Structure 1
Amino acid sequence: MALTKEQRAEITAQRNTPQETSRPTVPAMEALLFEPLEVLDHGFIRVVDYMGDDSAIVQAARVSYGKGTKRVSEDAGLIRYLMRHRHSSPFEMCEIKFHVKLPLFVARQWIRHRMANVNEYSARYSVLDREFYMPDLTQVSTQSSTNNQGRGEALDASQAQEVLDILRRDAAQCYDDYEHMLLPENGGVARELARINLTLNMYTQWYWKIDLHNLMHFLALRAESHAQYEIRVYAEKMLEILKAWVPQTAAAFEEYRLGSYSFSASMLKVLRRLLAGESVTQETSHLTKREWAEMMAVLENKAL
């Protein structure tokens, strides 16, 4: 993981200058603030700021629902109720801001989650560092035969090494050409043009601020086993941060979102028939082959 001297100095200054505040804080998050957590070969994620905690969610919900919530005796019970019934606005009362260093191709997946505020490092203004992501040998795989956007079986070591050699060679050559174009004696090409020659495994950085509701939506998709490995490892690190920040909410999230599966109305009809002892096949279920396979994989606890 590479941090610039300026970033290290900033982190040290921030940690050595604690601020007095009257707002609620979370001790576990105060310990995490500013510290970079390593991800992939050169990446990191760190918490820059946060607002709110589990109690802020409960407070917002009780303002929203008034006396109706008084029958819920504990905060954890109310949070679980909100999560179970997908009441999102109380969770929007909490926010968190991350500083993330990540490969460009991961950033392009990540940016599809539009309910956030983003400010990215500008390659028009600054020169990108010579850092590019190289996957581990075990992550170099074939195209999946069942998932058009996923990986299949891992290549053998010699084939995987050949792929890595190609990726490293091309990334190095493109960066050499990038530096060459920037030199004044070679014309001093504008940074905004020279950058277009770079490969997608180059690293970028951004600040990413999001409310808790939308963060959990991000994690539900990107911490899931079918997400691409390179974005999933960032999501898994963020899930650890979620547990430190709002532990009651994180527990409810894992119970009702990450660890659950939603059945369609047609699937529920099939499930009722199965519970009644009826013999049901894919042909008699009126489900598509994919729907049937997904439902049976959940019921039989098998990976798709």
Structure 2
Amino acid sequence: MPLNPEQQAEIDELRATPQPTLRAVSEGMEAHLYKAYDVLDHGFIRVIDYMGDDAAITQAARVSYGKGTKSVQNDEGLIRYLMRHWHSTPFEMCEIKLHVKLPVFVARQWIRHRTANVNEYSARYSILDREFYIPSPEHLAAQSEINNQGRGAALQGAEAAQVLEILKTDSNRAYDNYEQMISEDGQAGLARELARMNLPANIYTQWYWKVDLHNLFHFLRLRADSHAQYEIRVYADAICKVVADWVPAAYAAFEDYRMGGVNLSGKGVDCLKRMLAGETVTQETSGMSKGEWREFRALLDD
């Protein structure tokens, strides 16, 4: 189960004892606060704390007092302007702190975003649980033939069954040896900080991850993208649902300009203008490399 009884009891207690506050409150985020949302087979995300709302963004942009203008439309327009012109500081006025349970190999991808504050569960001090990420059959895929860091078609039949059996067997064997090494029953027992090196990368870890909204949007733009690895994308998708309720105007602008928009190089803009003027443009006449041309055509053909 993603949550242990102690964690669930803590959540129930926190949600049962609301506290009065004078700070800005996002009603959408209040509905999510402390709740755990399942991700993968044993993982979850949950909001521990947050600061700010849409009004905090516009307030910072104007360096004013209160909630900014009285017109919601004006505030939404300002947020869209800030997003459209890549202003970052006003979005940094909002922060979120998440509790995340995730496989170690996903954590290693995630931590490449070096713009957050992180405190991870210590396997030097505590014993990791026997919980491993085992992909469902539809997510067992072969290596992509065109992308060195991507997947191809799903494995089928006996091959898929064999891979699943290897993953399960190796994971449990490694954990059995981990338990044996740290055991003090009739032996000194290996230090936990050494015994953990034998554990597989699909074992689950946990951390608190605090990040401002500007850097969170950058994370989501990359990790909620259809090209991102599935196992981190599902975490990003879960976070997106929370952020959409926390700062709805900012998230709508993010969806429009970042997730739904495209960036063109100078050559790309030139080619587009020539196409609109009726010219037939090919890769050879575009001035682009084959890779650039393929990506440019993919943008136009989507």
- Please confirm whether the aligned pair reaches a TM-score higher than 0.5, indicating the same fold: yes
Distance change (3 Å), C-alpha of 1:114 and 1:278: same
Runs of 5+ in structure 2 lacking a partner? none
Cα offset, 1:24, TM superposition: 1.0
TM-score, normalised to structure 2, is: 0.95
Cα offset, 1:149, TM superposition: 0.5
Cα offset, 1:56, TM superposition: 0.5
Which digits, 9 at most, give the CA deviation of each residue in 1:180-219, with x for residues without a partner?
Answer: 0011124310000000000000000000000000000000
Which digits, 9 at most, give the CA deviation of each residue in 1:12-33, with x for residues without a partner?
Answer: 2211221110011112211111
Mapped partners of 2:113, 2:161: distance in 1: 33
Give 1:48's aligned residue.
48
Give 2:291's aligned residue.
290
- 1:98, 1:209 within 8 Å by CA — same for their partners in 2? yes
Give 1:14's aligned residue.
14
Once the two structures are superposed, the pairs formed by residues 142-291 of structure 1 within 5 Å of their partners are 142-184=142-184, 185-291=186-292
Runs of 5+ in structure 1 lacking a partner? none
Mapped partners of 1:60, 1:41: distance in 2: 40
Which digits, 9 at most, give the CA deviation of each residue in 1:27-80, with x for residues without a partner?
Answer: 22111111100000000000000000001001001118xxxx999961111000
- 1:117, 1:210 within 8 Å by CA — same for their partners in 2? yes
- 1:47, 1:99 within 8 Å by CA — same for their partners in 2? yes
Mapped partners of 1:72, 1:121: distance in 2: 42
- Aligned-CA RMSD value: 1.6
Cα offset, 1:250, TM superposition: 0.6
Cα offset, 1:154, TM superposition: 0.8
Mapped partners of 2:215, 2:136: distance in 1: 31
Secondary structure of residue in 1 paired with 2:252: helix
- 1:181, 1:187 within 8 Å by CA — same for their partners in 2? no
Give 2:79's aligned residue.
79
Give 1:89's aligned residue.
89
Amino acid in the other structure paired with 1:264: S
Secondary structure of residue in 1 paired with 2:226: coil
Secondary structure of residue in 1 paired with 2:206: strand
The percent of aligned pairs where both chains have the same amino acid is 62
Secondary structure of residue in 1 paired with 2:146: coil
Amino acid in the other structure paired with 2:288: L
**Is residue 141 of structure 2 the alignment partner of residue 141 of structure 1?**
yes
